[in-house]
Amino acid sequence: MSLDHLVYAVPDLEEGVAAFAERTGVRPVKGGSHPGGTANYLVGLGPTAYLEIIGPDPEVEGARPRAFGLETLTEARLAAWAIRPEDLDATVERARRRGYDPGEVHPLSRRTPDGTLLEWRLTRRDDPAAIRPVPFLIDWGATAHPAASGLPQLTLAAFAAVTPDAEGLRADLDAVGADLDVEEGPEVVLRAVLDTPNGKVELA
């Protein structure tokens, strides 16, 4: 199962991107706007994966979207991650048989700054969790993968989850076919370490 992307949620998109660029020495590029009031910037993590910095769309006045807890978010956090199965629908059904429901499959889209329409399908769970240690599933279909568009690059050196229920999380990860280092801890946290021009940078 291939890592598709990490989701780094920020309460203010322009400020979040500037802070990320200062920490890492790499300036993310604008990805585009989504229906629903979010927008993103991207950094590549190799040829087939990327880091998405997502926040309220600065061009939509008063936007406080619910996605990834942005409605009440006050500081940046690594909120979610996505994997890219060979067959999204079959993976959803298999996960449900194994006791984990990834959620319903929804079509989504966004336009890039040059006007190109990107379309994909992904799973969405209707629950209030702000941090999701179990990945959602994504299928880009005929759309070119964002990581193939010449993004500025960083290296993902480490990626792990901390949770009070390590055994339960491992079972849910296994249900969707995902591989992730899991540690026991008092609260749910996703943690990524990036190799950057400024040295190692941790996002959590």
β-strand pairing of 50-56 with 136-139: unpaired
**8 Å CB contact between 110 and 33:** yes
Residue pLDDT, tens place only, 64-114 = 787 888 988 999 999 999 999 999 999 999 999 999 999 999 999 998 999
**CA dihedral (102, 104, 107, 108) positive or negative:** negative
Whole-number Å distance between alpha carbons of 115 and 44: 20
Q: Domain range for residue 43? A: 2-153
Both tokens assigned to 3: 């890592």
| pLDDT higher than threshold 90 for residue 1 | no
Residue 104 amino acid letter: E
Does any domain span residue 112?
yes
| Tokens standing for residue 137 | 């599933």
Tokens 């194994």 belong to residue: 98
How many domains, in total, are found in the chain? 1
* 139 in a structural domain: yes
**Whether the predicted pLDDT of 129 surpasses 80:** no
Contact 34, 60 (CB under 8 A): no
pLDDT of residue 128: 61
Dihedral sign computed on CA atoms, order 97, 100, 103, 108 = negative
Q: Is residue 74 part of a domain?
A: yes
Classify residue 104: in a domain, yes or no: yes
Q: Which residue has the higher pLDDT, 4 or 149?
A: 4
CATH number for the domain including 128?
Answer: 3.10.180.10
Residue 15 within any structural domain of the chain: yes
How many other C-beta atoms can be found within 10 angstroms of the C-beta atom of residue 125?
13
* pLDDT beyond 80 at 3: yes
Q: Tell me if 167 is assigned to some domain.
A: no
Name, in order, each residue with C-beta under 8 angstroms of 171's C-beta and a sequence gap of 6 or more: 98, 99, 100
Decide if 180 is inside a domain: no
Tell me the sheet residues that pair with 54. 9, 40
Give me the helix-helix angle, 166-176 and 88-97, nearest 10°. 140
Is residue 49 domain-resident? yes
pLDDT confidence of residue 57:
93
Q: pLDDT band at 126, cuts 50/70/90? A: confident
Distances (CA, A) of 54 to 38, 77, 140: 7, 10, 18
Contacting residues for 14 by C-beta, under 8 A, at least 6 apart? 58
At 138 the pLDDT is: 98
Render pLDDT for 4-55 as a digit per residue (tens, 0 to 9).
999 999 999 999 999 999 999 999 999 999 888 999 999 999 999 999 999 9
What number is the average pLDDT over the span 168-173? 98
Global pTM reads 0.96
